[in-house]
Amino acid sequence: MSKSESDAATCCAPLNGPPMAEDEAVELAAVFKALADPVRLRLLNLIASAAGGEACVCDLTGPFEVSAPTISHHLKVLRQAGLIKGERRGTWVYYRLVPEALTRMSGLLALPVPA
């Protein structure tokens, strides 16, 4: 073993699990891309903090200085990324988080950081 290999072995901790597959990386990149917008982050936060774990679209348009169609577009992006689900009840659509998607993302972000 060369000195550089020896140095790398002592300073770099081995992976705690298998490396991420390319298809999983592509899928997760789409999720993070969906979150890479301030309006969508705020929408996700509003839905997450809503009483009962769901928010009516009628409650999601007021806090923003964008049109209702723009909010609908952002909600569609979050739905397509698998972060939220919508359920129509009469005239309104109610949105809730998809817990598995958030757990998956938080697991990725909770990896130990080397010292």
pLDDT tens digit string along 34-89? 999 999 999 999 999 999 999 999 999 989 999 999 999 999 999 999 999 999 99
Q: How confident is the model over 82-106, as pLDDT tens digits?
A: 999 999 999 999 999 999 988 887 7
Would you state the pLDDT for residue 12? 62
Q: pTM of the prediction?
A: 0.76
Q: Which of 2-11, 14-23, 93-102 has the lowest mean pLDDT?
A: 2-11
Q: Enumerate residues 6+ apart whose C-beta is below 8 A from 93.
A: 56, 57, 86, 87
Where in the chain does DSSP place strands (E)?
A: 54-56, 84-89, 92-97
Would you state the pLDDT for residue 6? 55
Which CATH number applies to 53-110: 3.40.50.1110, 3.40.50.720, 2.60.120.10, 1.10.10.10?
1.10.10.10
